[in-house]
Structure 1
Amino acid sequence: MLRLGVNIDHVATIRNARGTPWPDPMRAAKLVEEAGADGITAHLREDRRHIADADIDALMEGLRLPLNLEMAATAEMQTIALRHKPHAICLVPEKREERTTEGGLDVAGNDNALAHYITPLREAGSRVSMFIGAQPDQIRASARIGAAVVELHTGAYADYDTEGRIAERDAELAAIREGAALAASLGLEVHAGHGLTFDNVGPIAAIPEIRELNIGHFLIAESVFIGLPAAIREMRRRMDEARG
């Protein structure tokens, strides 16, 4: 079955907007567990704009589901990851001025440095994932440096769909399909995520090589109207329907 990981970053965004303890990301994680998701994703950014160090402490202590820690490839984040040893670590590009992650990591252009960076993370027992575009050189580089997983960035696909740019959307979808097949042929586990919604998740979920989708902002936004468990159950239903 196609797995669903839920990113809870934007529960923390709402909390931090007022500087109160509410809403609590750990409470959201418990609801995610109860609703039948397969994992929790949290991005500890360098500027701590949403998830905080204390949230990672709480998640590691209180979760039954595996934690996927998203982070930049910095010395500070490596130290934090080695202290916690989460189930999975997803390396992402990070710019302080961006609203959200704007593209994939350049593994091909930094393969030697990233190979050395991920070695202690792998030795500590975490599954290391590269958040990349579907370009063949990035996929091959991820396999070459010893990553276990690639997460294919679906943001451009989602943006083109929202904007009604059908030809570009279909071309991006074809690239993701081809990238997923290449990654699987190289022995990489394939995940995907970014910008996925009820309306656009189907074609991505239908790609047979993809094993996991990580979805956050839309589910947190939809939960304002229908509640988090209901949003997760509906996303799961649409994923399962697409997978057939």
Structure 2
Amino acid sequence: MTRLSVNINKIATLRNARGGNNPDLIQVAKDCERFGAEGITVHPRPDERHIRYNDVIKLKEIVTTEFNIEGNPQDKFMNLVLMVKPEQATLVPDGINAITSNAGWDTIKNESFLTQIITELKNNGIRSSIFVDPIPEIIEGAAKIGTDRIELYTEPYAAQYPSDKEQSIKSYVEAATLAHELGLEINAGHDLSLENLKYFKENIPNLAEVSIGHALICDAIYLGLENTIQLYKRQLI
């Protein structure tokens, strides 16, 4: 079964809107695990507009499943990751002012830089995953630089799914098949939801993990967090 990692950035956004500690990010992370999540994901950004760097340090002390830290591997991010030593670091090429991630790495253009970063992660016992678009050349480049996993950027899939689900999944099936042939494990994330997750899971071979935050937290407002996590897990069976 594909693992579900819950991204709790939106919980931090809600907390930060009023200051204080409501909702309690640490308690929510514990509850997500208690409700069935197999991982906790955070994506700290330089301006700390949602997840704060100190949050990451505190979460490492209490997360008992898999801890995944996403972000652009600039110095501040890498210093945090190497100090916390999560099970997985997902490298995302988002700009400083990006509202959310909107593209994968060019693994060919950034080969030297990414190879250096991945080597450093491996030397510290941290699994590496690279956020990529479903493009064969990019997948081949990811294998060349030595990453353990790729995370398929799924916003284009989600956008096209309502109008043409067969076409929306095509490039992702091809990318996942190639990645597996090259010895890469496969994660996926961005705009996956209760509407489109089951079809994605059914068609993507060897899907190890999905990281879902925005849609899951939005659903939880109506359905409750425990029920929502269970509903998402059922899509992954």
Provide TM-score, normalisation by structure 1. 0.93
- For residues 2 and 56 of structure 2, the distance between their equivalents in structure 1, rounded to whole angstroms, comes to 25
CA deviation string 1:18-46 (max 9, x = no partner): 12211122111111111111111100112
Residue 202 (structure 1) aligns with: 198
Q: Tell me the SS of whatever aligns to 2:109.
A: helix
The alpha-carbon deviation at position 16 of structure 1 amounts to 1.0
The alpha-carbon deviation at position 159 of structure 1 amounts to 1.6
The alpha-carbon deviation at position 49 of structure 1 amounts to 1.3
Residue 12 (structure 1) aligns with: 12
- For residues 235 and 77 of structure 2, the distance between their equivalents in structure 1, rounded to whole angstroms, comes to 35
Alignment of 1:38-187 (within 5 A): 38-161=38-161, 164-166=162-164, 169-187=165-183
| Aligned-residue RMSD, C-alpha | 1.2
Residue 30 (structure 1) aligns with: 30
Residue 217 (structure 1) aligns with: 214
- For residues 155 and 93 of structure 2, the distance between their equivalents in structure 1, rounded to whole angstroms, comes to 14
2:55 is aligned with what amino acid? Answer: D
- For residues 26 and 106 of structure 1, the distance between their equivalents in structure 2, rounded to whole angstroms, comes to 34
2:163 is aligned with what amino acid? Answer: R
Gaps of 5+ in 1: none
The alpha-carbon deviation at position 165 of structure 1 amounts to 3.5
CA deviation string 1:188-236 (max 9, x = no partner): 0001111011111112111222111111111111111121111000111
The alpha-carbon deviation at position 141 of structure 1 amounts to 1.0
2:193 is aligned with 1:191: no
1:198 is aligned with what amino acid? Answer: L
The alpha-carbon deviation at position 96 of structure 1 amounts to 3.2
The alpha-carbon deviation at position 97 of structure 1 amounts to 3.2
2:23 is aligned with what amino acid? Answer: P
- For residues 25 and 223 of structure 1, the distance between their equivalents in structure 2, rounded to whole angstroms, comes to 15
Residue 228 (structure 1) aligns with: 225
- For residues 120 and 220 of structure 1, the distance between their equivalents in structure 2, rounded to whole angstroms, comes to 33
CA deviation string 1:22-79 (max 9, x = no partner): 1122111111111111111100112211100121011101111110000102011111
Q: Tell me the SS of whatever aligns to 2:28.
A: helix
| Structure 1 segments (4+ residues) deviating >6 Å | none
- For residues 212 and 134 of structure 2, the distance between their equivalents in structure 1, rounded to whole angstroms, comes to 18
- Would you say the 8 A contact 2:94–2:103 is kept in 1? no
- Would you say the 8 A contact 2:158–2:168 is kept in 1? no
Gaps of 5+ in 2: none
- For residues 81 and 172 of structure 1, the distance between their equivalents in structure 2, rounded to whole angstroms, comes to 34
1:165 is aligned with what amino acid? Answer: S
